[in-house]
Chain A
């Protein structure tokens, strides 16, 4: 099970945080700080796996964003790399050539997509098309509401 998933920039600014375990606010902040320090200090051609406390940390850099997740001991690190990659592909498909700014200005949509892909720290759907379809349908539902209300959603 994944314990948390973080996205942060090269300067250490948090762009997305998803927690699959209940942790107090203070501890979350500390973890974010630890992760950013650890991952950002890694040299370019080192392996993508780290050990932190009793968890395995898997991180991957995509352009200017670091995707970082924490796994339990039994989990498969190579598969976690695939999971991160799949999430990036989903974002790419949705936004069309996704970049960091897309995620900054549309963070709530990034969360919605993540919630269709992972749940409770596990994968809920393994088919890209299926996820894309459900997100589209939810957006449609929202838009219908908007048209009805003739106001933008947010």
Chain B
């Protein structure tokens, strides 16, 4: 190889520059030279100058003046000039430049050049930067090359066709016939390209997908050939014959077998064979196994195969190679909802991965661990998660904290455990928890009335130790204010006795008030707590009065207002003080969310005798946030008919629970929040329209006091979700209420767990059950309209059974209607 002397000389000079300024100077000189060269026209030096320009471009300097030169060089008859010209085109031109159109003609000519290497240059450039117009112009040429050329050109033409289809999807039909025949090629390069092309065609068009399903046996044959073939030096990588092609074929099989029983059946044997015979000691084998597992999980495979796949992932988890551990956790994450029990078996290993050095691995392990928490393993899992929280990297802390809260909310074995867990999180990572934690915890504490003494003692001790964590301090202040009398009593069954005097308590609160670490909200909490204590302690009321009056002249407006009001309470309204500051009633979790955007953590008025509206629990957080946002915009999205199904965790399949844990759940009918009361400032705006979603319910059955209504929640082309709502207007409760449903064969039915099986009398309550109807073959919709329901229940000791035929669903789901205010 003759060295490219002058280019290399320039590179050497540039690299020897000692400063950035020196380098810039050299580059400027060289660019001036290059420009002069370009102006001189054809003298055999042009390709040389362009190469130098490309180097300069890679260093980050502007090189647009070389674009036209690329066009000229591409048109040159000399191969060396074409080669560098095309390279320049790929680096400097892209479809957004006008100059790129100018090379279309050259490419067209070169595609029919006698030398295959020139053809290959043209194909490569087209596949790299071809714009939609260029693709449209040249598509027939490419199609011709696909059919009639040698394998060297065929493989390039195939990938070029893939690019064309991506740019101009309408041209897909042009390439479909040739794609099928390419599968019978022997050359691996062409075969690989063909598989990529077919994958792309199937992605674009479901009819083509159906068509190519017929190719499954052929693909299975090819795969079998690769897996069982003897050593072939040309394609062998670490004992695997052409892993690149194998992975690609597996990916295509995945697409073809998805949601199709016949295709899936045809590949079962092959997948089992690949899964058992592939040697995974090196990356190549692991790559093939990984793809196999993904394919098995995505098609309708038999359960034995699925178990095999999960076991492979379990084996990966124990692998020394970090990459493979990471991969297996990513895959387990995808299947944890569908194959929950199988993944549970590997829980120990997953929890161990929490201690890995690598943050990416830690993150995956955290997500998986949170998904695997269940009522059975909550205590041990929580222990691990809390340990993890103390040592985890800062970017994962808030995710861990919210995950722990969700899990505790869902599965806590006892209230005391729940409170302990939350306190633990607040002490370790109080700074990273969400704002709603404080009111949620407060609400939880009020409901656990037997634990008030224990809680307030624990919080007091935590407060005394450290006042840096704002959420913890806020909760502690609130509790001390509320239950200060219990604190001062000194004895508590579940905790070591500690003598706390009134001065101690007031000292603690004053420290919080005066500390520069306390946020204004925290100081508000502390001030109110101090005030509340005035009715709960006997000796130091004067001290409280003086504290409160000091803050009457505080700079912070919030504190000043409160202090002034409290002062007034002391002076003018002393007779009311006891009543105003008495113990608050237990807050009900199911209250409608507050709508005017207040963070419920701030206690606005000292009007503590009214129950504080608290945003309904953690579960409905995403929903209530949605409500708040929509309210600010002046609309609401909740169905007008509130199905008063309990807002506590529905006893649906564990899959729904896990979706909640991962925080991705949108309000389902079972978790409906009753429509938030419209706020005044929304009503005042006369020009504001309210979008009201009307969801019609149709009554389908009325007999003996039991009525059944059907409500269509969601309707897509292949799926309908309906809710069946049962209510009871008799004098007695209806028990053992169950619904069974039957649908035509082409429809798949999935019934979620009902909200309960007792319907209270006098219409006091309802039972809701959601039913999912899926018609994957997209047969005509009237198919959906037939459903037979059998109702069975007990009333006053007698068993009743009845059948209902539903032949029409309320077809309009969620029809928006605009009503101006």
Contact = CB atoms under 8 A, between A and B. Distances in A.
Interface of A: 14-17, 20, 22-24, 29, 43, 45-51, 74, 76-79, 81-83, 85-86, 104-108, 111-112, 115, 119-120, 122-130, 134, 137-139, 141-143, 145-146, 149, 151-154
A149 B44 contact: yes
B2 A143 contact: yes
Contact of A124 (B1, B12, B155, B358): B155
B580 to A, nearest CB: 54
Contacts of B129: 22
Interface residues on B, range: 35 or more
Contacts of A48: 323
Contacts of B4: 106, 108, 152-154
B79 A45 contact: no
B95 to A, nearest CB: 5
20 contacts: A16-B58, A47-B360, A51-B360, A76-B287, A78-B286, A82-B283, A86-B237, A104-B15, A108-B4, A111-B87, A119-B123, A119-B160, A120-B128, A122-B192, A126-B242, A126-B245, A127-B234, A141-B117, A146-B2, A153-B48
Given A17-B58, A76-B247, A120-B163, A81 B87 contact: no
A106 B3 CA distance: 9
Contact of B290 (A78, A138, A151): A78
A144 B360 CA distance: 52
Nearest to B324: A78
Contacts, number: 179
Q: Which of B51, B60, B159 neighbours the largest number of chain A CB atoms within 10 Å of its CB?
A: B159
A123 B244 contact: yes
A31 B192 CA distance: 30
A50 B244 contact: no
Contacts of B159: 119-120, 122, 124
A107 B79 CA distance: 18
Contact of B2 (A45, A141, A152): A152
Given A77-B327, A78-B323, A105-B11, 20 more contacts: A17-B58, A29-B60, A46-B360, A47-B322, A47-B360, A49-B327, A76-B251, A81-B287, A104-B11, A119-B156, A120-B128, A124-B192, A130-B189, A139-B1, A141-B117, A143-B1, A145-B78, A152-B4, A154-B6, A154-B84
Interface in B36-69: 44, 47-48, 51, 54-55, 58-60
B96 interface: yes
A146 B326 contact: no
Q: Is the interface of B mostly helix, strand, loop or mixed?
A: helix
A39 B115 CA distance: 42
Closest 6 CB pairs of A and B: A154-B4, A78-B287, A120-B127, A47-B322, A125-B189, A46-B358
Nearest to A129: B234
A23 B94 contact: yes
A6 to B, nearest CB: 11
B8 interface: yes
B152 A134 contact: yes
A112 B287 contact: no
B601 interface: no
Contacts of A107: 54-55, 58
Contacts of A123: 192, 244
B781 to A, nearest CB: 32
B83 A119 contact: no
